[in-house]
Structure 1
Amino acid sequence: MILELADIRIQPGKQAEFDTAIEHGVQQVIAKAKGFRGYKINKGIESPERYVLMIFWETLENHTVDFRQSAAFQEWRAIVGPYFAVPPTVEHFTLLGKSD
C-alpha cells in the first residue's frame, strides 16, 4: 500500500467552503479511482489554512498514472483548485512500521 501525502495551503477565510469541497471531491471523484483504498483529511489548528490530505493507494501507479492521467484528476482539481493559495506539495510513502 502507498500513502500519498498532500500538504495543501488554501486562501485565508475559505476554510468552511474548502472543508465541503475537499470532502465532496474525495468522496465523489477520488474514491472511485482504480486502486483507491481510503483517505484521511486533517486541518491545521495553528495554521487554519493548512490541510494534510492522506490518500491510500494499492500501487504508486494507481495514483501517478491511473488517476493523475485521467479526466477524474481534472474534475478533482476543478473542485479544490480554486481554493489553493499555492500548488500542493505531494509525496508518496511506504509503510515502515505501525502500532495497533
Structure 2
Amino acid sequence: MTPEEVGRYAESLPDVKRKGTESRPGWYVHDRLVARLHDENTLVIRVPLSRRDSLLERYPDSFGVPPRMEAHHKVEAYLDRAQPREVCEAIDLAWQMQAE
C-alpha cells in the first residue's frame, strides 16, 4: 500500500481530515489522530490497546510496536509488506475509536 492509497482510504471515512506536512501527513477525525505517516514505508496508527495484540498476532509481518510506543494506543504498519486490507482494518479500528 502506498502513502497515497492510505490517504485516499483514510479521507474516505466520515469526518477525516488531512493535516501535517507533505512529507509527514496525518489523518484526523475531530482533531484526534487516526494515522500519521512516519516515513514512506511506516504508518503510525492509533488503535485500541484491547485490539492491538490481535493485529500483531494475526499480521506479525505487517505491524509492530517499537518500545517507545508500548504504553500508547499505537502500532506501526509497514506499508512495503502489509496487505492493503490489513492496513485498512487497522485504520478502521482507529477511526472507530477516535470518532466516538
Which of the five TM-score ranges fits, normalised by the shorter chain?
0.3 to 0.5
Which of 1 and 2 has greater Rg? 1
Question: RCO (CA 8 Å, sep 6+): is it higher in 1 or 2?
Answer: 1
